[in-house]
Structure 1
Amino acid sequence: MDRQALPYARNGEWLSVAAADLLLYAHNAGIAVSPIEAGSHPHHVRIWLLALGLFPEKWLNRLFSIGGIQMDEGMVRLRNFLPGDPVRDEAFRIAQHTLPSASASVASVPTDIETPAAEALFRDDWCLVMDKPAGMPVHASAPGQRGTLDEAAARTGLLHGDPQPAKHIHRLDDDTAGPVLYARNELAQLRLDEAMRAKVIGRQYAAVVQGIPKRKSGTVNAPIGKDRHHRSRRIVTPGGDEAVTHYETLETYRGAALVRLWLETGRTHQIRVHMSFLGHPLVGDALYGGRDAILRHQALRGEQLTFRHPWSGSEMTLQAPEPAWFAEVRRRYASL
């Protein structure tokens, strides 16, 4: 039995899984574990769960410390679906205080904030994928900042009557559109963070670049670090962090090209820096040498996000719709 075949039930904050199903999972994985007795003390349930190897030790220990492990009538109950904390989570607190009317989009921001709407591409008990528009920051850069994707993500759950928090697993630049993955509980966050470290979350992008790359496809393996002469810029430098970008040319225009890109790493401004390093800065990206006559920000969008579901382990693929502004840039170059 894999995680995909492991059924669960949710009752408010509690996750319930049959002890028999957990035992079968362990046996099928080659783990020798004895059955646990009904009514076992939470300490013994924790030790038994650790022996299964299915759940992170850090998570189980924290649950035990808050009385979040129980055994009842053959069901293991884990207090996994805790609500967001408005004291520690400012985005959650702002979302609570600025809930729109029932007729509004589930992720729209208050009308007094001049920010495009963000929509949910996927949502369940475990994770959330938000389609971030260009111009919306993922998180606040100053206390009290409104109109962030984090706020929209928290509001999405609240409007569905589910006050779980939403913690972003990766980020996009403010002016880059595309899907962003969120964890909706601590177990999901631990597993998705580990997936990011293991580089098994796939991120596919599309960009319109100046000029036409000499090679139809290729890989840029060039370390990226801060530019000590410009606070906001990043540069390719021998002392920088490892950065690997793969690209493929999809369409060519007069003096520009549409390219698809995949990231192995996630450095700040990575695609923008690497394409500029190749001599093909993104259209609209004035910071890295791109002309901005057609567009006032980089012509870059996330197309697709792939990851394994943090509970079931099933492969998830989410496509983001093409923004109208990106389609217009392509149309204008195609008409030259």
Structure 2
Amino acid sequence: MKSFQLNWVIDAYDSGKLVVNFLKEKQLSKRALTDIKFHGGDIRINDEHVTVRYKLKEHDLLTVIFPEEDRGASLEGDPYVPYSIVYEDDHCLVINKPANVPSIPSRDHPSGTLANGLIYYYEQKNIPSTIHIVNRLDKDTSGLMLVAKHRFAHSLFSTQQKKKQIHRSYEAIVHGAVRLSEGTISKRIGRKSDSIIERVVTEDGQEAITHYNVLSTSKELSHIKLVLDTGRTHQIRVHMASIGHPLCGDSLYGGRMDHIQRQALHSSELTFFHPILLKELSFSLPLPNDMKSML
């Protein structure tokens, strides 16, 4: 397998800098440099090995070769996991995840997850990496997911995520006619005391903020768009239930199963600045058929 690598042609501005300082400016962490040094990576100038104390010259070709990543013996490839690739480059994937597919293995779902499907894809394409999911979706939530292809990209995306620079929006179908055409729900969310899964609105929980717009409504159902300021577990599901409009199909939080057999929630839009290609990318997906038929 060919390891991931990054290349820079040094210009006059960066001439004279030490490699270690140049790479620090490119957001390579001290840990990443240690991994490169001790776990099979390399740093090269004009295809010759150098140390991080090398002083850069104008027109040098600096190449950083990242070590192969350990996938773990328990993560096996599965060719039968359904998903589709919306976008791909050397550093990331944007995935359309269908409902009823868990993102990663767990005690309840040790196999058949998106991670298992992607590992199989990596094996077929000789991609020397493990799975780095940037925005995880619940098993029954469909739509767009961002996956980094190597540790360095994952680190950059994680930093963006902490700074709220990765923008996502969702569409949901909820019970009842939502009275206001738009609104913000700011209620703290924490784990329910007698459950490892269920979350509740609680004063001692973590801050959670959800903005919503009503796209269409009837006496029985409302189609809404949601944007999150925070990313708490089950945030949309808990917040909508807390204002009396649980998601259709979400039996855990009071939704009925008569219209749909899973929570009617879809990750419909994703926008981010690609930290390596240095350009903004934006993606959107229509509602899947099971939600579309409800409208």
TM class by shorter chain equals: 0.7 to 0.9
Q: Report the AA paired with residue 76 of structure 1.
A: L
TM-score (norm 1): 0.77
Structure 1 range deviating more: 271-280 or 159-168: 159-168
Residue of structure 1 in register with 2:149 after alignment? 184
Q: Is the 8 A contact 2:102 2:109 kept in 1?
A: no
Q: Is the 8 A contact 1:233 1:287 kept in 2?
A: yes
Q: Report the AA paired with residue 295 of structure 1.
A: I
Q: In the alignment, does 2:238 pair up with 1:273?
A: yes
Equivalences for residues 150-169 of structure 1 within 5 A: 150-169=115-134
Q: In the alignment, does 2:30 pair up with 1:65?
A: no
CA distance in 2, matches of 1:16, 1:299: 41
Equivalences for residues 173-212 of structure 1 within 5 A: 173-212=138-177
Q: Report the AA paired with residue 112 of structure 2.
A: G
SS in 2 for 1:329: coil
Residue of structure 2 in register with 1:12 after alignment? 2
Give CA-to-partner distance per residue, 1:4-45, whole Å, 9 cap, x none.
xxxxxxx9325252442xx35xx3xxxxx4436xxxxxxx53
SS in 1 for 2:33: helix
* 2:271 paired residue among 292, 306, 324: 306
TM-score (norm 2): 0.87
Residue of structure 1 in register with 2:50 after alignment? none
Residue of structure 2 in register with 1:324 after alignment? 289
Q: Report the AA paired with residue 69 of structure 1.
A: I
Give CA-to-partner distance per residue, 1:122-148, whole Å, 9 cap, x none.
111101111111111101113992210
> Higher helix proportion, which one?
1
* 1:78 paired residue among 40, 49, 64: 64
CA distance in 1, matches of 2:109, 2:210: 35
Give CA-to-partner distance per residue, 1:238-267, whole Å, 9 cap, x none.
100011111000011231110000111111
CA distance in 2, matches of 1:144, 1:232: 14
Counting aligned pairs with the same residue, the percent is 32
Q: Is the 8 A contact 2:42 2:65 kept in 1?
A: yes
CA distance in 1, matches of 2:240, 2:3: 46
CA distance in 1, matches of 2:108, 2:192: 27
Cα 1:206–1:45 change in 2 (3 A) is: same
Q: Report the AA paired with residue 19 of structure 2.
A: V
Q: How many residues align?
A: 281
Q: Report the AA paired with residue 27 of structure 2.
A: F
Q: Report the AA paired with residue 16 of structure 2.
A: P
* 1:149 paired residue among 100, 114, 119: 114
SS in 1 for 2:231: coil
Q: In the alignment, does 2:90 pair up with 1:90?
A: no
Cα 1:47–1:248 change in 2 (3 A) is: closer
Q: CA deviation at 1:84?
A: 4.2
Q: CA deviation at 1:313?
A: 2.5
Cα 1:34–1:233 change in 2 (3 A) is: same
User: Structure 2: any 5+ residue segments left out of the alignment?
Assistant: 48-59
SS in 1 for 2:293: helix
Residue of structure 2 in register with 1:133 after alignment? 98
Q: CA deviation at 1:189?
A: 0.8
Q: CA deviation at 1:64?
A: 3.0
User: Structure 1: any 5+ residue segments left out of the alignment?
Assistant: 1-10, 28-32, 37-43, 101-107, 110-116, 331-336
Q: Report the AA paired with residue 291 of structure 2.
A: F
Runs of 4+ more than 6 Å apart:
none
Cα 1:223–1:302 change in 2 (3 A) is: same
Cα 1:47–1:199 change in 2 (3 A) is: closer
Cα 1:16–1:56 change in 2 (3 A) is: closer
* 1:54 paired residue among 26, 31, 37: 26
Q: Report the AA paired with residue 54 of structure 1.
A: K
